[in-house]
Amino acid sequence: MTLLEVRGLSVHYGAVQAVHEVDFTVEEGAVVSLLGANGAGKTSTIKAICGAAPYRGSIRFRGRSLPQNAARVRAAGVGHVPEGRHVFGGLTVADNLRLGGWGKRRDRSSEIYQLFPRLAERRRQLAGTLSGGEQQMLAIGRALMGEPDLLLLDEPTLGLAPVLCDEIFDRIRDVSAMGSTLVLVQQHTSRALALADYVLVMRGGRVIARGIPDDFADEEALSAAYLGDEMPHGGLNNLEKT
Amino acid sequence: MMQYVASGLVSGGIYATMAIGIVLIYRASGVINFAHGELATFGTFVVFACWSAGLPLPLALLIGLLVGAVASPCIEAFVLSGLRRRTHLTEVMATVALFLALNGLTLAVFGEETHEFPALVTGPPIEAFGLVMSRQSILVLVVVAGLTLIMAAMFRFTRLGAAMRAVSESRESAELAGLPVRRIVWSVWAVAGMAGVLAGVLIAPIVYLNVNMMIDVLTKALAGAVVGGLTSVSGAITAGLLLGVGESLVAGYVSTQLATPFVFLVLVLALVVRPQGLFGSAPKVKL
Ligand SMILES: Nc1ncnc2c1ncn2[C@@H]1O[C@H](COP(=O)(O)OP(=O)(O)O)[C@@H](O)[C@H]1O
Ligand SMILES: [Mg+2]
């Protein structure tokens, strides 16, 4: 079943158009990787879906149009782990999680602490004093507190040491295994490809390639495509499966 | 000496209660709300009108607090959010304009007479430790202490309190986390509005109810808020109390005429020597 359907999505910042007429769908239970170099328009796309950036076009979730209001999108069942984590540094870990459960009856924090034992040890600590990796775990945990049906993760390993990246990816795999549908934004390919059921590549605000991970086995062609290098041997045309 | 300190704590307690509202609003919206005092006056007149109409005082007080809780967020929701170009200058101009408008509205609705406002507690003054204090003064101290505790508990222990702190810390992060930011900001204004009306009801029996009764209080509360750092609730409370005591000591030992200038001299000194306030972090905006 289609969970998310994005049609003709455009995002403008004043005169700058960051996203051009983007179309894609996300099936229930899938992991979709959204790849692309810096400035490709990935974050703008995610923010539009989350109601955190104004857009033109249609975004439907479970067949219904999503409101352009972050709080209501969240209430509709879409969780957002924003780029740059955006945890509340002056609040404790526990309070950050508590806010993630805004409007929810059930308190999922014990599940979150099970998933991220490091957070459990630090629940009384201020989020601002956590390491980058721990803050990322907190940002994921905070989004999961809202019991989302769809979780959008925007560069969850940005700026983290490789061991931490592995740990974060393991946890993301756990979340996926629990049945959540994920959209995973990444600049680096290998981990994202390993986890994905479906891959979208953006460049210059457009989806320039899409397919299952096997289609992108030729990593060189993929890198060329999303890093914006000149196409060496028509690699992009081979990728274009739309 | 102790008598001056005690009476200074009473007026300082009122400044502190008003300063709390100014700080809360500043933290939530980044605005100095010059209309805060007039809103308190209006609410206090509502309490007086309800009481004059025969309602019991506690019920009248409840209605007044509700008026404060509703009217205060309206300033943010309908005036400030409506500004086409929202800059610090337009915000200040809007709240100053509202200050004058509300003052005029109160005058038009309730008249310019000065009224004797019913004290919440009555009875002869109490003598203890060589001090003589009216029951109303003692009530002010108790209420300020209670309010401080309630505020602290709300911010620390409730989810709404945590959300208020989160929005103050970063509106953008709160937005991205999917918190209902506008409703949280309105709640802050509502809490501030109620604290303002409470301050009005506390001071009215002491200074008599009048359209202009909060002007002096507001300017001193503003001084307290700024001296306290503008972003720190505990700083505002401490500074409000200290200014009240200092003012009372100056009035007692130097001259009553110099009491008010003293407060603003402290304000100017604070801005020169320690602009981040007693407890505040570096100021976020310049006015
Ligand atoms: N708030 C903004 N104001 C103006 N331009 C922006 C803003 N956010 C992003 N952009 C521009 O939009 C384009 C896409 O940015 P973004 O969506 O952040 O890409 P990505 O997440 O793929 O790095 C970039 O050219 C960026 O400079
Ligand atoms: Mg990005």
**Which letter, b or e, does each residue of B168-197 get, where b requires 16 or more Cβ atoms within 10 Å of its Cβ?**
bbbbebbbbbbbbbbebbbbbbbbbbbbbb
**Each residue's pLDDT tens digit in chain A (242 positions)?**
899 999 999 999 999 999 999 999 999 999 999 999 999 999 999 999 999 999 999 999 999 999 999 999 999 999 999 999 999 999 999 999 999 999 998 899 999 999 999 999 999 999 999 999 999 999 999 999 999 999 999 999 998 999 999 999 999 999 999 999 999 999 877 788 889 999 999 999 999 999 998 888 776 666 766 655 433 333 444 444 33
ipTM: 0.90
Choosing from A43, A81, A202, A227 the residue with most ligand 1 atoms within 8 A of its CB, the one to mutate for a pocket test is A43
CA nearest neighbour of B44 among B102, B122, B121: B102
Q: What's the pLDDT score for residue B275?
A: 67
As a whole number of Å, the CA-based R_g of chain A is 18
Going by DSSP bridges, is the β-strand pair A31-36/A64-65 parallel, antiparallel, or unpaired? unpaired
- Work out the mean pLDDT of chain B and round it to a whole number: 90
Which residue's alpha carbon is at the smallest distance from atom 26 of ligand 1? A39
The answer to whether position B281 is within a domain reads: no
Cα–Cα dist B87/A31, whole Å: 43
pTM higher than 0.80: yes
Q: Does A34 touch chain B (CB under 8 A)?
A: no
Instruction: Please report the pLDDT score of residue B231 as a whole number.
Output: 86
Closest Cα in chain B, distance from residue A188 (Å): 23
Sort out which chain A residues have CB atoms less than 8 A from B177's CB and list them: 74, 80, 82, 86, 88, 99-100, 142-143
Q: Dihedral of the CA atoms B261, B266, B269, B271 (nearest 10)?
A: -110
Q: What is the mean pLDDT of residues B154-172?
A: 94
Give the chain B residue whose CA is nearest to the CA of A87: B173
Q: Which of B13-27, B79-93, B104-118, B193-207 shows the lowest mean pLDDT across its residues?
A: B79-93
Kindly determine whether residue A91 and residue B166, on different chains, have CB atoms separated by under 8 Å. yes
* Distance of alpha carbon A24 from alpha carbon A46, whole angstroms: 12
Whether the CA torsion B59, B64, B67, B68 is positive or negative: it is: negative
Test mutation, B158, B167, B170, B175, chain A, max A CBs within 10 A = B175
Question: How far apart are the CA of B46 and the centre of ligand 2, in A?
Answer: 52
Selected residues 166-205 of chain B with any CB under 8 Å from a CB in chain A: 166, 169-170, 172-181
Closest CA to B191 of B153, B229, B136: B153
Quick check: A80 and A66 in contact, CB under 8 A?
Answer: no
Closest CA to B215 of B25, B93, B35: B35
What residues make up the domain containing B158? 2-273
pLDDT reported for residue A224: 66
Whichever domain contains B27, its CATH number is 1.10.3470
Answer whether residue B63 is part of any domain.
yes
Q: Indicate yes or no: CB of A99 within 8 angstroms of CB of B179.
A: yes
- pLDDT given for residue B228 in this prediction: 87
Looking at the structure of chain B, the number of domains it has is: 1
Answer whether residue B64 is part of any domain.
Answer: yes
CA of A158 from ligand 2 middle (Å) equals: 10
pLDDT score for B285: 42
HEC secondary structure over chain A: CEEEEEEEEEEEECCEEEEEEEEEEEECCCEEEEEECCCCCHHHHHHHHCCCCCCEEEEEECCEECCCCHHHHHHCCEEEECCCCCCCCCCEHHHHHHHHCCCCCCCCHHHHHHHCHHHHHCCCCEHHHCCHHHHHHHHHHHHHCCCCCEEEEECCCCCCCHHHHHHHHHHHHHHHHCCCEEEEEECCHHHHHHHCCEEEEEECCEEEEEECHHHHCCHHHHHHHHHCCCCCCCHHHHHCCC
Q: Do B176 and A86 touch (CB under 8 A)?
A: yes
> Is the CB of residue A32 less than 8 Å from the CB of residue A202?
no
More confident residue, A223 or B120: B120
Per-residue pLDDT band for B280 (boundaries 50, 70, 90) equals low
Closest by Cβ to B176, choosing from A75, A82, A95: A82
What does residue B84 show for φ and ψ, rounded to 5 degrees? -65, -50
- Note whether A99 contacts B: Cβ–Cβ < 8 A: yes
**pLDDT digit string, tens, across residues B184-237:** 999 999 999 999 999 999 999 988 999 999 999 999 999 999 888 888 888 899
The residue whose CA is least distant from atom 21 of ligand 1 is A43
In a domain, residue B284? The reply is: no
Atom of ligand 1 nearest to the CA of A53: 1
Domain covering A2-227 in this structure, CATH number: 3.40.50.300
Residue with CA closest to ligand 1 atom 3? A13
Q: How many CB pairs under 8 A join A and B?
A: 65
- What is the distance in angstroms between the Cα of A146 and the nearest Cα belonging to chain B? 10
Closest CA to B224 of B240, B235, B241, B238: B240
Q: Which residues line ligand 1 (CB under 6 A)?
A: A 13, 16, 18, 36, 38-44
Task: Report, as an integer, the average pLDDT of B119-148.
Answer: 87
CB contact under 8 A, A86 and B159: no
**CB of A54 less than 8 A from some CB of B:** no
In this prediction, residue A232 carries a pLDDT of: 39
The number of angstroms, rounded, from the C-alpha of A32 to the middle of its chain's C-alpha atoms is 9
Task: Name residue, tokens 């709640």.
Answer: B187
* Token digits of residue B203: 């001071």
